[in-house]
Structure 1
Amino acid sequence: MKQLSHYLTAMRDQTPLVQNITNYVAMNVMANVMLAAGASPAMVHARGEAAEFAGIAAALSINIGTLDDEWADCMVLAATAAAERGMPWVLDPVAVGATALREEVAARLIALRPTVIRGNASEILALAGTVAQGSGADTGDSVAAAEGAANRLAIQTGAVVAVTGAVDFVTDGRKAAHIAIGDPIMPLVTALGCSLTGVVAAFVAADAPFEATVAALTYYGVAGEVAAETAHGPGSFQVAFIDALHAMTGDALDARARIAGVCSPRFVS
């Protein structure tokens, strides 16, 4: 894997247009986060244009957070268009184990072969058909407990699977990485996890999915650590975090990154 600065530079040089079908709570925060990172976000979800816009975007991210039947159909239309183009797209299966509707929509989307699936441990366990301890969008399971499920899901779907938490875990079923970076205050700010999905899509638009996902998660975590150095609570953290994403240089990213080597994975069955 190349220096992480390579992936950040590649993304910023491309300024990828990323179509985001995300939840109501996340839209504003997500757009600002992606702009600060160097991408070009577009919140396009209407039935009449979702598929058409996927024909011009560089990547697509789909988040099922505030789900309804109309939006579900639009998600499928956009993901179908992305799949037909061979365009990378990222699925964020928010609270997938909570209701039958979420399980049904997630199954429809996974059938369209997302490039990356990013979720918390309980969401990944639920997608893999394992009993999970999630409560709505919050995880009740550890990342370590989801590693085996993530590996199986990656093999079954062909996607890179990213399990995010205190120590992120990324696998494509053949190789894996642990990313121990970030700050505990990050989950206290609404929509930062949803926004990460868009950043992953932007990185994947510019480079190989596994490596780009690892780079995106590391970049995000480093920005969280930088923001925490000056923040006094969740409110000031959000502002400092967006500033840190914008100000991050490739050299700073390389210097602060902590990845437990990209290697053959060790999984729990």
Structure 2
Amino acid sequence: MSGYTKQITSLITEVRNKKPLIHNITNYVTVNDCANIILAIGASPIMADDINEAGDITSISSALVINIGTLNKRTVESMILSGKKANEKGIPVIFDPVGAGASKLRNEVTKTILDEVKINVLRGNLSEIAYIAGLNATTKGVDASEADIESNDSTAVAKKAAVKLGCIVALTGAVDVISDGKNLVTISNGHKMLSDVTGTGCMTTALVGSFCGAERDYFKAAVAGVAVMGIAGELAYEAAGHKGTGSYHIAIIDSISKMDENIFGEKARINEN
């Protein structure tokens, strides 16, 4: 295990010891999964999207996760209010631009959030990150398109987006890429069956938020959150992949609830570039 991986490994214990409160303004398709995944890693979730309390909840939280999977005007206002409150309080903001590039509304909301809120970590797939970076990008709903996967270099896309936004970018795919524009890490964990369960991207973002809530080095926190999800995908397949996607779904949460430094240290395939 490299020294860097060992540092990441210790963050699992850090999250379980600190139990940070993670405020999620997320989509209604995956909200329950995100709450359970946060609990499984040892943090504490709260989902408060009403504008009358969103700012107050953010102010007592350790991290804010914004996810635009199911958009409506009411929650967009809460996202921006909460994001500004987080910036004011020095609370990390993790943004998941689900489906950016797919519709005029998503594109406008993504731009507004990025213009008005300082983002610490941007977590998305190749198509979403390429769109935000200003590159040619197509979209397949909320998934990365095959055309983008074939035509774009994920490391270059992650670096460009990180430089453009001045934040950490966690680009997830067959090989995950984490970059701050200068430093770059790739993660080779995961299983293709993860793409058969809705919300695994949202859950990954929630995990990144959990680690950011316990660790001020958000680059390491992003690596930890993405790697934990990848390892859980592998372990879940070993335990329940043969049963089908429903059992696999639950096995992901089980695997994260059992995640510790030994498992992470043994299974993590993190490469520093």
TM-score tier, shorter chain, comes to over 0.9
**Which residue pairs with 1:132 in the alignment?**
137
- The list of structure 1 runs, each at least 4 consecutive aligned residues, that deviate by more than 3 angstroms after superposition, is none
* CA–CA separation in structure 2 for the residues paired with 1:149 and 1:230: 34
* CA–CA separation in structure 1 for the residues paired with 2:83 and 2:12: 25
Deviation at 1:171, TM superposition (A): 0.1
- 1:92-124 per-residue CA deviation (whole Å, 9 max, x = no partner) reads 000110112111111121121211000000000
Flag the structure with higher helix content. 2
The number of equivalent residue pairs is 262
**Which residue pairs with 2:238 in the alignment?**
229
Unaligned runs of 5+ residues in structure 2 are none
The answer to whether the 8 Å contact 1:160/1:210 transfers is: yes
**Which residue pairs with 1:168 in the alignment?**
176
Q: Which residue of the other structure, out of 47, 69, 73, is the alignment partner of 2:51? A: 47
**Which residue pairs with 2:166 in the alignment?**
158
**Which residue pairs with 1:105 in the alignment?**
109
After TM superposition, list the pairs within 5 Å mapping 1:71-220 onto structure 2: 71-111=75-115, 112-140=117-145, 141-142=148-149, 145-207=153-215, 208-220=217-229
- 1:143-175 per-residue CA deviation (whole Å, 9 max, x = no partner) reads 962332321221122210011011100100110
Query: Sequence identity of aligned pairs in percent?
Result: 39
- 1:166-220 per-residue CA deviation (whole Å, 9 max, x = no partner) reads 1100100110011011111111111121111111011011111111111111111
Give 1:252's aligned amino acid.
I
Give 2:134's aligned amino acid.
G
What is the TM-score when the length of structure 2 is the normalising length?
Answer: 0.93
Deviation at 1:2, TM superposition (A): 5.2
Give 2:226's aligned amino acid.
L
* CA–CA separation in structure 2 for the residues paired with 1:50 and 1:132: 33
What is the TM-score when the length of structure 1 is the normalising length?
Answer: 0.94
Q: Is structure 2 residue 238 aligned with structure 1 residue 242?
A: no
* CA–CA separation in structure 2 for the residues paired with 1:121 and 1:2: 24
Deviation at 1:133, TM superposition (A): 2.1
The answer to whether the 8 Å contact 1:122/1:146 transfers is: no
1:170 counterpart SS class: strand
1:169 counterpart SS class: strand
Q: Which residue of the other structure, out of 58, 62, 83, is the alignment partner of 2:66? A: 62
**Which residue pairs with 1:266 in the alignment?**
none
* CA–CA separation in structure 2 for the residues paired with 1:37 and 1:43: 17
Unaligned runs of 5+ residues in structure 1 are 264-269
RMSD (Å) for aligned C-alpha atoms: 1.3
The answer to whether the 8 Å contact 2:67/2:97 transfers is: yes
**Which residue pairs with 2:270 in the alignment?**
259
* CA–CA separation in structure 2 for the residues paired with 1:167 and 1:88: 25
* CA–CA separation in structure 1 for the residues paired with 2:143 and 2:49: 25
